[in-house]
Structure 1
Amino acid sequence: MDIDHKSMEAAGKAIHDEGGEFARAVSLDRSAVETLRAYLGQDEAALIFRRGKDGHPGYDAAQKDLFTALDNLTKSYEAIGAAVTAMSKNVKTADWASMVDKNAFVHDLVEFGKQQPKDLAVPTTPVELA
């Protein structure tokens, strides 16, 4: 398979890094949304708006869902980046395995490496130390 592994691994790292940038940007927006709570008031209408009524969710539930979704997006960037890098490494391994099967010289070399020591000739000539 013709793949530019350096490019693919760089792309995986870039996606992962963009997740960190996204998380920082979301953190700032999250803080801004949190400050709105102070302006919602404490009267009955404000409490209904925040907590919901008659089984309908309010602002607090929607905010919680929003923050959960943003956290999941951040984690997705990191997971996708790691997966792209892993794909590149897996393809490298598969390419190596198929090369061993197709290239007779490499196949013979691998088979030679599998031999047990008893199969190898070992010199038995004594050596004198000077």
Structure 2
Amino acid sequence: MYRTSYEVLEGNSENIRLEGEFLIRATEYLREEVYRLQEYFGNPSTDEVARVFRNGQDGQPGFDQMYNDLDEALQNIQKSYAGISATLNAMSTTVREADGPGTIVLDAVEKLVAFSTRTNDSIAVPTTQARHH
């Protein structure tokens, strides 16, 4: 079956949306698993090693900052998937709206081309005499 350009855009939009949802599910699980490890890293308020690991030292980020950065990056990726999907959907709407008049013009052009390439067939010629006033 032939798919129009707006149908292709809609299909791609849906595929990207589904990929984004898959990514969300996969990363949610992984983020939760990493977050649960925090209890094994010690208490930063009573343990110096835990404090350095969790909070960082000498300008180097610790686990907490890196975890927050990772979380923010994953949220931005998820937003990007949603934004790309929405943009493709909007493009599809624009193409669909443009296809209507475009189809009419294409039909007219095809008829004109067919008419211009016809062979010598009989063409009705008016036989009414022109009147002079």
The TM-score range, normalised by the shorter chain, is 0.5 to 0.7
Partner AA of 2:28 in structure 1: S
Partner AA of 1:20 in structure 2: E
The residue correspondences of 1:1-130 to structure 2 (distance < 5 A) are: 3-42=4-43, 43-98=47-102
Q: CA RMSD in A?
A: 2.2
Unpaired segments ≥5 residues, structure 1: 105-130
Q: Is the 8 Å Cα contact of residues 10 and 89 (structure 2) preserved in structure 1? A: yes
Partner AA of 1:62 in structure 2: M
Matched length:
103
Name the larger-Rg structure: 2
Unpaired segments ≥5 residues, structure 2: 109-133
TM-score, normalized by length of structure 2?
0.67
> How far has the Cα of 1:48 moved from its partner?
0.8
Structure 1: which 4+ aligned runs deviate by more than 6 Å? 100-104
